[in-house]
Amino acid sequence: MNNHLSIIGVPMDLGQMRRGVDMGPSAIRYAGMSERLERLNYVIEDLGDIEIPRPKSNKEEKLDNLRNLNEIAEGTQRLAEKVDGVVEKGHFPLVLGGDHSIAMGTLAGLAKHYDNLGVIWYDAHGDLNTADSSPSGNIHGMPLAVSLGIGHEKLTSIYGDAPKIKPENIVIIGARSLDEGERVLIKEKGIKVYTMHEVDRMGMTKVMDESIDYLKDRTDGVHLSLDLDGLDPNEAPGVGTPVLGGLSYRESHLAMEMLQQSGMITSAEFVEVNPILDEKNKTATVAVGLMGSLFGESLK
């Protein structure tokens, strides 16, 4: 793994309806992220936070059934430019959210540098909705579909018109809350998904071994997009859309350790940390602990 890490905070809370997730980057920094990674001999460059535009009115507005469409498109465009610049310098981009809509910008910036970018989507949700299939109009439930080129043109065209990723280069891990439209899209596109049923039946070691084997020969880089609601809410309570029956703290550390050992991860983001919903910054602390494992922390 590249030992120069460039940290990008994205205080985005426009992709959903629960306030507070814009403070996620600050909460993660406060939990000791930089100090922990520096102890692992990484060179840390904190680029601060992307400026996110605010809606002009406090009244809720939807455009084409999409909440805060223009502001999210503008904010993620800025993020894409920043990520592109980090990779251009030869550094590892580590993005802090913010809600999961930011992944549209992260993937758009990364896609400029890879022909077959792989994605590990560690999440309770598929985030494969569109304006037509979404029950809520919340864009944080759409970034994976958008990155496949499916969705509103204002989002799919962020930092380039073409799809940013290919369906055969995606692995979703920890899914347990999929809308009907997402299920249809998963089958139609042949997206590889490990639900909690597979994790429980196979064990995390087997799930990660298969995921790594699946991606290693078909991709030229792999991005980890980790939503803290992938973990069980008992482990990570400070998230906006908690779903019971999630991944454990121990399973998640094992997953991060195996990804580190694989040497395949070329970028990462940790999203949906909401300190207002949290207990004594527990979820941000979990996020930092998982970063430690991803970047090589070991008991040996």
The pLDDT tens digits for 235-286 are: 999 999 999 999 999 999 999 999 999 999 999 999 999 999 999 999 999 9
CA–CA gap between residue 190 and residue 167 (Å, rounded): 7
Is the pLDDT at 61 greater than 80, yes or no? no
Q: pTM for the whole thing?
A: 0.96
Is 179 inside any structural domain? yes
Which CATH number does the domain housing residue 24 bear?
A: 3.40.800.10
pLDDT tens digits for range 197-231: 999 999 999 999 999 999 999 999 999 999 999 99
Distance CA 179, CA 135 (A): 9
Q: pLDDT tens digits for 93-141?
A: 999 999 999 999 999 999 999 999 999 999 999 999 998 888 888 999 9
Model pLDDT, residue 58: 63
Q: Please tell me the predicted confidence (pLDDT) of residue 186.
A: 97
Identify the pLDDT of residue 57.
67
- 35-52 tens-digit pLDDT: 999 999 999 999 999 999
**Does some domain include residue 272?**
yes
Q: Within a domain: residue 299?
A: no
Non-local (6+) Cβ contacts of 299 within 8 A are none
Q: Which of 177, 42, 15, 228 is nearest to 105 (CA)?
A: 15
Count the domains in the chain. 1
Dump strand ranges (E) for the chain.
4-10, 43-49, 62-63, 66-67, 92-97, 117-122, 170-175, 192-195, 221-227, 265-271
Query: Does the pLDDT value for residue 300 go beyond 70?
Result: no
pLDDT of residue 206: 98
Residue 249's domain spans which residues? 4-294
**pLDDT score at 137:** 87
User: Rounded to the nearest 10 degrees, what angle do helices 103-111 and 69-88 cross at?
Assistant: 40
Q: Which two tokens stand for residue 198?
A: 């597979």
Query: Is residue 146 one of the residues assigned to a domain?
Result: yes
Q: Is the pLDDT of residue 78 over 70?
A: yes
List the beta bridge partners of residue 225: 121, 269
Could you give the residue numbers annotated as active site? 100, 123, 125, 127, 140, 227, 229, 272
